[in-house]
A = this chain, B = another copy of it.
Amino acid sequence: MSSGRAVQSPGGGELLFLTDEQLRQGIEAMYFAYRGFTADPDRILAEIDLGRAHHRAIHFINRAPGTTVNNLLSILGVTKQSLNRVLRALVEQGLVESRVGATDRRERHLYLTEAGQELEARLSEAQRARMRSAYRDAGPDAVAGFRRVLEAMMSADTHRVYSTLKDRA
């Protein structure tokens, strides 16, 4: 598995030489890996007639309980109309509670119910198990590199959202 070769650039700085073939393998790896990444939660969600969109909402509500719809929107990068359908389903199934804001009553603050927390735990345990196994197979140095490449691959605004979330962990 070649990962490119450091060569001297004309300006003197070190440059990474990458063939189109190496890049394409990276692209395909990303595509196939993402399928594995979502496979386990998808199976669990299908049992209870929910989809990946519900998982994402549950994940980030769990991450920041009491978040508003608008805030969740900017994390997920979808339209509010799209998120709304997902949230409605989650509320109807008793997995999420939506409370009118105390100071600003236009806002809705979102929380996982008991049942929502249980589902979240199930989903994220499945996903973490795969991630843990991949990390162990690949080793600690690989993991650091993995993270570095992923962060470099994000779009600038997405990277900002990611960092904000990470920093307040």
Contacts and interface: CB of A to CB of B under 8 A. Distances in A.
A114 interface: no
Contact of A35 (B3, B137, B154): B154
A152 B18 CA distance: 22
Contacts of A135: 3-4, 16, 18, 23, 26, 149, 152
Nearest to A155: B36
Interface residues of A, number: 64
Contact of A166 (B3, B25, B30, B39): B25
Contacts of A128: 20, 23-24, 27
Interface in A76-125: 77, 124
A138 B5 CA distance: 13
Contacts of A153: 33, 36-37, 130-131, 134
A145 interface: yes
Given A6-B140, A30-B150, A137-B152, 17 more contacts: A1-B144, A4-B135, A4-B140, A16-B135, A16-B143, A25-B169, A26-B143, A27-B124, A27-B127, A27-B131, A29-B151, A29-B162, A36-B155, A39-B155, A135-B152, A137-B148, A146-B149
